[in-house]
Structure 1
């Protein structure tokens, strides 16, 4: 773990207190980290970033979205661990041992042992891509890469893959969480078995920001609220972050893998947004990220996983000005000049040896999907829904304008492959006409969205979906 040097009074208040809690945690050496994205043209050099994190913060782990050698060199001899990402496009090749050995030789070995590489994660939210080839090659590539690491005597490096909460077909109440039909035993049971055998964690990206509606804002932000009661377990949830993690745990338990560790690969809240995103603001970002750190570092765990400290990577280190929307550009804790985005007390949480979170807190969450091989994921997708919790009225999922027919056909194939009824868009079906890919995709994508809890991430479809407030039955090509 990193040694924290004397901080300036300003940054000491801002950063040291909250992250200090995590450094002292006996249950995890790396409880809080950050996602270091680089989709910007104004960021400082990696060497300055590494020096800043080492000397002026207590952050001791970062996650990057590629294997950038400049970044890996910058973190040499800092005692800050790095999680490296394999691009989506590289996954199929890495299923073969020579390619996996070559990738490690080119991207990992040159930085050993000076740079502490904690994880290699394959791709980004592969299940959300609907790419059958990527999905089919994912586990073989994970196994081959791990074997190649072991052969290279890098047994300490673990292998995982980040998953959005779109992997769940049901998440409410948390005890009812289950993986998507058709993917549960065929895909996730095998991935979880790999994690059990290699003692590596299952990585998920819970974003209450993408799941809240006005009535559940406090619940998403860890603020005081009445909570959500799970009748099956008799437990009351006072924040959405815990509920999302427990839904994943329940899905794992149904397959018999509740003993596999969970790592939070991404979570966060934007400090600014588009005009139709009033809850993307500084106060909410401060509340979510500040209370998240306090909650995770307390070791309190969740209702179904008590007394556990979850290794958690906040998205993101910097604001990134080349992201496509205002909210996506404003997930950072810091501006490119290293000044904090929030007011001085945004992360000013008092250190504590036990739970210090307010019993009734609520986190906003959304699960942003980032581009496959790119250096950093784009944060959230379309603006969050307007209607109240659980309301379906006035919300539909349709294809974004300009999406290619090939991508739309992939969405259709994916949805119909999950077991949803696609007979209406087959010849003779009630929604077959107009007989074109775009109209059929509009039906399939909305059917999936409506059937899976109306979460924004269930209308992502690798950034080709859009939530609208007009009935897609009137969708025109």
Structure 2
């Protein structure tokens, strides 16, 4: 599979205010057969410096795990709760008390998404959508939280008709009785239009009319750019065209000062035979370019420099989602915290891609068979040419004297000595990659670039001349129980067997 790593520095610009800067967030879906527990999810968010998340519900355990992290959280009113809230002010107030007031200020809830794509997926609830938003907002006002927590609702971009050129776009007139009061609500409360933008679907449905490069943000020759014949503005990607179509659709209804936040956008990394463009490389390209585009505060041709903050869909691949193969493969990570692909962010101007090579470690799997660990340890300190002298009695990494602890040190040393090449953190299935530094006290693991081995670009430069001290001495050093488990949230996945 090769090296996979994710580097997201999701806040840029130290001099501009938060109101001026765009951000990248992620959606956190839960349709996984092996859904990580909330503490693992939050650990992954923190490790990746993801500062904005959108939840599709108000799961109590997740909101508690997010407490005191500073992460900006958008929670959601699920569609199946919308009718009750939209028909009763008291029900809405109770929902706010139970799901919002119980968690703030410890949990930094900044927005409530009322339903999802209600006009197109639950049209019978459309007449009470704005009522639900108003009732929830009233409860926030009563709690003096209305300035901190905005209320909106995500829309499918399909409610915009005649979307290119963007200057002639308008909302489906069928929804005017909803859209007009909805936009009035957003304007009066200082909120924003939430829009789901999926160039992947635009590309697929266009049946060749849209170039793949145009959908993926790839550079275009000036002659290949799409030109709005009414404004003469040039469009180099589908994303900007859709966002500007939303601005123009609002303008068509005489609303000109409501910002757009993209609640969902992404690209699937895998598809079936009928989905040939759902590939790792295309997903990588789209999301990398999207992050770069948003965080550079490029704006759109109609509104250059105006932030279009965006939530990537999504954090995890959701294998339990119904539908085609692509429906299950929008995630940046698998359930075990391993990234699906590298994001190409290095050299992206104000977008800074962290060098995470020295922030990943290879450790023994929690609960791994002791005999298999011992065999892998013997191999690492023998044929693997790892310098295991730090684990000798009296040396910094002797304690704790367990096969798991010593194996973790040896595994990490080999992993970095081999420049994290394919297969170098497997050891017949008893090793795993983690983002949690396993160093302890004076025992600094090689991946930390500390005293027990110098790390340059992820490669251990520690000499291997002492890797076989008195044959295989480490067999004499393991008498205790397994060392407590390490976090299994991984930043890198290696396949193959050592």
Q: Does TM, scored on the shorter chain, surpass 0.5? A: yes
Deviation at 1:347, TM superposition (A): 3.9
Root mean square deviation of aligned Cα: 2.1
Matched, 1:230 2:228: yes
Measured in 2, the distance between the counterparts of 1:206 and 1:68 equals: 25
2:107 aligned residue: 115
Q: Flag the 1:111–1:328 CA change in 2: closer, same or farther, 3 A.
A: same
The CA deviation string for residues 292-336 of structure 1, in whole angstroms up to 9 with x for no partner, is 000011111101111111111000001111112210111001111
Asked if the contact 1:25/1:297 (under 8 Å) is kept, the reply is no
Asked if the contact 2:22/2:297 (under 8 Å) is kept, the reply is no
1:350 aligned residue: 347
Matched, 1:37 2:29: yes
Q: Flag the 1:181–1:23 CA change in 2: closer, same or farther, 3 A.
A: farther
1:458 aligned residue: none
Deviation at 1:348, TM superposition (A): 2.4
Asked if the contact 1:28/1:310 (under 8 Å) is kept, the reply is no
**Residue from 99, 111, 128 that aligns with 1:137:** 128
The CA deviation string for residues 158-197 of structure 1, in whole angstroms up to 9 with x for no partner, is 110000011112211111110111323x221211110110
2:182 aligned residue: 191
Q: Flag the 1:310–1:316 CA change in 2: closer, same or farther, 3 A.
A: same
1:341 aligned residue: 340
Where relative contact order (Cα < 8 A, 6+ residues apart) is larger, the structure is: 1
Report SS of the residue matched to 1:189: helix
**Residue from 213, 216, 219 that aligns with 1:218:** 213
Mapping for residues 129-208 of structure 1, pairs under 5 Å: 129=121, 131-132=123-124, 134-155=125-146, 156-184=148-176, 186-208=177-199
Asked if the contact 1:80/1:116 (under 8 Å) is kept, the reply is yes
Measured in 2, the distance between the counterparts of 1:85 and 1:211 equals: 26
Mapping for residues 273-284 of structure 1, pairs under 5 Å: 273-284=271-282
32-41 or 213-222, larger mean C-alpha shift:
213-222
Asked if the contact 2:53/2:72 (under 8 Å) is kept, the reply is yes
The CA deviation string for residues 6-41 of structure 1, in whole angstroms up to 9 with x for no partner, is xxxx99x73145x24378764446611000000011
**Unpaired runs of 5+ in structure 1?**
1-9, 356-477
Measured in 1, the distance between the counterparts of 2:37 and 2:212 equals: 37
Measured in 2, the distance between the counterparts of 1:75 and 1:339 equals: 21
1:64 aligned residue: 55
Measured in 2, the distance between the counterparts of 1:144 and 1:238 equals: 41
Report SS of the residue matched to 1:350: coil
1:84 aligned residue: 75
**Unpaired runs of 5+ in structure 2?**
353-498
**Residue from 317, 320, 337 that aligns with 1:319:** 317
Mapping for residues 21-36 of structure 1, pairs under 5 Å: 21=12, 26=17, 27-28=19-20, 31-36=23-28
Asked if the contact 1:20/1:351 (under 8 Å) is kept, the reply is no
Q: How many residues align?
A: 340
